[in-house]
Structure 1
Amino acid sequence: MSKTIFITGASKGFGKLWAEALLERGDNVAATARNISALDDLKKKYGDQILPLKLDVNNRQDVFDTVNTIEKHFGSIDVLINNAGFGLFGTVEETTEQQAREQMETNFFGSLWVTQAVLPVMRKQKSGHIIQISSFLGLTTLPLLGLYNASKFAIEGLTETIGTETAHLGIKTTLIEPNGYATDWAGASAVQTPSDIFDYNPVREEFAKSGDNPDIWGKPEATIQPIVDIIDSVNPPKRLLLGKIAYHTMNQVYRDRLEDIENWKEVSVRAHGY
């Protein structure tokens, strides 16, 4: 049975790739982007099956108006794929106030506005699935991505909370946590902070070397079936890591965290006071 799926940030990268795959299998897709001309090819091929809409997720009123348009057009919203966002590269110290605010505005607040707008529709339906595109950097960190890391850590907490608030209403949540993929996320879509402080050059050089390893970048096409499986699952996971780098990294990170917790167990318990 076909579903109605709302995807933000659908003009390129994961968003467009998944939109096309879902249209191909017969789903209805509301695809939003700042530049909807990038969706002309899908509109030509799939006609009324796709509803392309211009949207800047930073504008809360526009988000609510867009969701209203989608509900009126398709009659329901079964799945939200909250995908809009971008990467900000550079050290925390060198990040400007405007860059920091814009990173959080899009990656965190934009996702919040879209989720708030969709929840009334899903509550009315007593069903729905919110799929939030986070990152494995919402669970651990890399240098030179401090504000991006922070935005995804915030998204993790937000989405997990929404899941606890809406489960009894038939609304499910899933956090998708990819490692790096060969999209333009680290290319044309990325923003770079100033890099004037020479003390950080060793960190920048080491980071650049790691990016030269082609093995760290996943193949975007390999994510299609996992996303379809999540959408079709009766009991989808709360979280899903995408990519072998994400899996191996987080496996070790959690082992290390648990070891620290156990090593300091007595101090932690004593700090309770009784």
Structure 2
Amino acid sequence: MTRVWLITGASRGLGRAFAEAALEAGDRVVGAARDVEPLSDLVQRYPDNLVRLPLDVSDRAAVQEGVDRAAAAFGRLDIVVNNAGGMLFGMVEEATEEQIRAHLDVNLFGAIWVAQAVIPHLRAQGSGHILQVTTMGTGGGFASTGFYAGGKSALDSISQALAMEVEPFGIKVTIVQPGGYDTGLFTTGTTTTEPDPAYDPLRARLAEMWGDDAGPGPSTAAPVIMELVDLPDPPLRLIVGGRSYDLVQEMEQARTGEYRAWEHLSRKAPG
């Protein structure tokens, strides 16, 4: 059966890759983004199967109206990919209130607004699959990307609750945790804080650690997503990327090791 996708952040990166893969599979797509002009070439290739939807996910009223338009475009919604997001790059001390709020308005609240808007449509039809795109780093923060990880971690927890809440209505939720893909997140999608010289040594170490590898192209992740949405019983969480899987396992083992190292102190409290 031909499926209908709503993909936010569809104009570039993973969102664009997922839109292309869905269209190539014969599905129909509503591609949402603040700037939908980059989707013009896809409209020419798939004029009957792609609808562009200009949308700022940080605007809750606009999201509600936009989702209603998306559902009306092809008569239903089957797969909703909450992918819109950006990067706030800098140390916690350096970030301004305006930067922090603007970042979370998109990465956290924007995804919540979309989920709230699509659930009534999915509940009415008794089916649907919501893909919440977070990151492999939701297990903990990392210097200079703490707000990005924080917003994604909050979305991870909220999405786990959401999955329990909507399961009785036939709606599935998967928290998609991609690794480092060359999506433009650290270039066009980045807001940078005003650097404090006190952090220059740490910034230099981070630059050396990360190197210049931008990661694989986002199209390499699309086949995994296409297989995921075909599953009759999809997982709650899915790490996308073999290297990322290994890194997540290392982080989980390190966290468990730390808990065990301090178990004696934890058990001194009765709670």
Quick check: TM above 0.5?
yes
Specify the alignment match of 2:211 in structure 1: 212
| Deviation string, structure 1 residues 63-87 (Cα, Å, up to 9, x no partner) | 1111111222211111100000001
Asked if the contact 1:7/1:83 (under 8 Å) is kept, the reply is: yes
Regions of 4+ moved over 4 Å: none
Residues 185-204 of structure 1: matches in 2 within 5 Å? Answer: 185-195=185-195, 197-204=196-203
C-alpha distance after superposition, 1:207-250 (max 9, x if no partner): 11223242x72332210110101111111111111223321221
2:73 pairs with 1:73: yes
> What is the distance in 2 between the residues matched to 1:40 and 1:209?
38
Question: TM-score, normalised on structure 1?
Answer: 0.94
Structure 1, unpaired ranges of 5+: none
Q: Which moved more, 1:200-209 or 1:100-109?
A: 200-209
TM-score where L is the length of structure 2: 0.95
How far apart are the structure 2 equivalents of 1:61 and 1:112?
A: 12
Instruction: Give the one of 229, 239, 242 matched to 1:241.
Output: 239
Deviations 1:46-76 (A, max 9, x none): 0121111100001111111111112222111
Count residues in correspondence. Answer: 271
1:269 to partner: Cα distance = 4.3
Matched ranges for 1:127-206 at <5 A = 127-195=127-195, 197-206=196-205
Letter in 1 for 2:151: S
Query: Residues 200 and 171 from structure 1, CA distance in 2 versus in 1: closer, same or farther, beyond 3 angstroms?
Result: same
Distance across 1 between alignment mates of 2:28 and 2:146: 37
1:104 partnered with 2:104:
yes
SS of equivalent to 1:84: coil
Q: 1:30-53, CA deviations, whole angstroms, 9 ceiling, x for partnerless residues?
A: 111111111111111101211111
TM-superposed CA distance for 1:266, in Å, is 4.6
Structure 2 residue runs of 5 or longer lacking an equivalent are none
Superposed CA RMSD in Å reads 1.4
